[in-house]
Amino acid sequence: MYSNFNLSPLVRTRRGLFPLILLCFLLPAAIALRAEENYLAPGQPDGIALLPPPPAPGSEEEAADLASARAVFHGRTKAEEIRAFRDSTLAFALFEPAIGPMFDLGRLPKTDAVLQKVKKEIGETIDRPKNYFQRKRPYQLDPELSLGKPEPSFSYPSGHSTRGTVYSLVLAELFPEKRAGILEIGRNIGWDRVLIGKHFPTDIYAGRVLGRAIMRELRNSPAFQHDLVEAKAEIQAAQAQQPAVAAPAPAH
């Protein structure tokens, strides 16, 4: 049996370096695996347990909710209607007016990857309470509220309101200096659905609650936090490369 002391210095050095070399190979792989983990645990957050039931069919609450939906629908302006249909696309580009022209996801691949992963993962969280409560949409109770194509899913909670809330909260983490404007757009994405008869106001409020619950789960996710840090670094690097805006010349 030979001990390390009987080995040449070169062999001992190589043996000592092997664990370090192995770690150098494994660490990037471990980081990549974390980035591939799901952001949300299965069934979390549970919208069925979290949200109160919507107003019962035929109840006074439903009648009041429908009256509010009618008032908003008939009181909208043409500009609001155009904005509502634009916001219905749920495109991330909707947030560019608040963030600025540097919000070009084609040049921010890590940021785009985070947003796309969030977009994909929250679908089941939204659909679960929708399919459980099975609430009809306003235009199904009042045909005068029909505008545009009918929706294939149920009304409560609003998926657009939920997504608008989640997207705006994630983007506010990435662009904290633009937070107020980003959150306003997120709220509008939800409320605009009432303007065009797709949702009751209570659907929108429930979507905001569910959206914030989703964001709490995301903040507790190591995989999300890992990807968020990388996206922030990417954004900071892109901002540093932007040309400085010249100050206006003083008036004479």
Contact indicator for 231, 114 with CB cutoff of 8 Å:
yes
Q: How much is the pLDDT for 242? A: 78
Nearest to 95 by CA among 204, 171, 173: 171
Nearest to 167 by CA among 239, 98, 222: 98
Lowest mean pLDDT among 21-25, 53-57, 73-77: 21-25
Query: What's the mean pLDDT in 102-106?
Result: 95
What is the rounded distance in angstroms from the CA atom of residue 7 to the CA atom of residue 80?
Answer: 81
Query: What's the mean pLDDT in 45-59?
Result: 98
Cis amide linkage into residue 101, ω under 30° from 0: no
Res. 26 pLDDT band, cuts 50 70 90: very low
What is the rounded distance in angstroms from the CA atom of residue 240 to the CA atom of residue 237?
Answer: 5
**% of the chain with per-residue pLDDT over 70:** 82
pLDDT at 147 over 80: yes
Query: What's the mean pLDDT in 88-117?
Result: 97
Beta carbons within 8 Å of 172's beta carbon, 6+ residues apart: 178, 179, 182, 183
Q: How much is the pLDDT for 25? A: 47
Q: How much is the pLDDT for 212? A: 98
Residue with token string 């968020």: 228
pLDDT in tens, 204-245: 999 999 999 999 999 999 999 999 999 999 999 999 987 755
pLDDT at 12 over 80: no
Res. 30 pLDDT band, cuts 50 70 90: very low
Q: Give the residue extent of every domain in the chain.
A: 40-238
Q: What's the whole-number average pLDDT of the chain?
A: 89
Neighbour count for residue 171 (Cβ, 10 Å): 25
Architecture of domain 40-238: Up-down Bundle (1.20)
pLDDT in tens, 170-199: 999 999 999 999 999 999 999 999 999 999
Q: How much is the pLDDT for 11? A: 46
Nearest to 163 by CA among 186, 129, 131: 186
What is the rounded distance in angstroms from the CA atom of residue 161 to the CA atom of residue 167?
Answer: 10
Query: What's the mean pLDDT in 28-46?
Result: 73
pLDDT at 40 over 80: yes
pLDDT at 35 over 80: no
Q: What one-letter code names the amino acid at 26?
A: L
